[in-house]
């Protein structure tokens, strides 16, 4: 099951000692507008060929623009044995509104 994680909870986990990895599945052009520095970038279209870049035993939060692509990525990874997969609720847009308020946003 892909769990939801709020932007605030993700920010807290990225700042403390609770291990969590962050995967950004947006396209290159989207990262040119805004990105979270701790995130590994693998576009959703490339994920199936790059799964080996991720550790299945480390909790993994996945982010996209609003949360749709990241949920698809989470289901895909769960089917491949990833145990703790989290969809970042609201995506990078919510992150910009709730956590990093000076971050650029896009439609």
Give per-residue pLDDT as tens, 6-47.
Answer: 999 999 999 987 889 999 999 999 999 999 999 999 999 999
Pick the catalytic residue: 5, 10, 64, 85? 64
Q: Assess if residue 103 is contained within a domain.
A: no
Range of the domain at 42: 3-98
Q: Is residue 107 part of a domain?
A: no
Domain assignment of residue 84, yes or no: yes
- Burial environment of residue 107 by CB neighbours within 10 A (0 to 12, 13 to 18, 19 or more): exposed
Is 105 within a domain? Answer: no
Compute the average pLDDT of residues 49-73. Answer: 97
Q: What is the model's pTM? A: 0.96
Q: How many domains does the chain have?
A: 1
Q: Which two tokens stand for residue 20?
A: 């969590």
- With b for 16 or more beta-carbon neighbours within 10 A and e for fewer, the 38-55 pattern comes to ebebbbbeebeeeeeebe
The sign of the torsion formed by the CA atoms of 39, 45, 50, 55 equals: positive
- The enclosing domain of 35 has a CATH number of 3.40.250.10
Q: Considering the domain boundaries, does residue 106 fall inside one?
A: no
Q: Is 34 a catalytic residue?
A: no
In a domain, 94, yes or no: yes
The answer to whether residue 89 is domain-embedded is: yes
């Amino acid at each position: 099951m892909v769990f939801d994680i709020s932007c605030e909870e993700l920010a807290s986990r990225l700042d403390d000692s609770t291990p969590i990895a962050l995967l950004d599945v947006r396209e290159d052009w989207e990262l040119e507008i805004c990105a979270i520095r701790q995130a590994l970038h693998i576009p959703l279209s490339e994920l199936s060929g790059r799964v080996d870049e991720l550790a299945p035993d480390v909790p993994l939060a996945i982010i996209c623009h609003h949360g749709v692509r990241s949920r698809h990525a989470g289901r895909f990874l769960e089917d491949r044995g990833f145990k703790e997969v989290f969809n970042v609720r609201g995506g990078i847009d919510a992150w910009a509104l709730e956590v990093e308020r000076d971050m650029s946003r896009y439609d």
